[in-house]
Amino acid sequence: MTDTSTTTSTSVSATDDNSKPFWASQTIWSAIAVVGSSVTGAILAWKSQDMASFGVALTAALGGVNAIIGRVRASAVIKS
């Protein structure tokens, strides 16, 4: 007995016409907000000489930058 069913692919590549550009991603805008608030926190911590808070703020800022880079470099749509 042979299988005559066809398979369809549901994956969407980043080059498809129906995919949104990276800058339309909610992840990008959320990460930009994280970077902005973290850098502000780092500046305030630096001015008050609170090095523990400064380190935490810089770590959060780097996490936001990592999220931006990850989303821009992604080759597929994030599936929930």
Higher-confidence residue: 17 or 58? 58
The pLDDT of residue 17 is 52
54 or 20: which leads in pLDDT: 54
Query: Residue 61 — very low, low, confident or very high, per pLDDT cuts 50/70/90?
Result: very high
- Asked, for residue 69, whether it belongs to a domain, the answer is yes
**Tokens 């800022």 sit on residue:** 61
Domain count, the chain: 1
**Rounded mean pLDDT, 23-29:** 82
Instruction: Pick the more confident residue, 14 or 48.
Output: 48
Cα–Cα distance for residue pair 75/21, rounded to 1 Å: 11
Residue 60 lies in a domain: yes
Question: Does any domain span residue 42?
Answer: yes
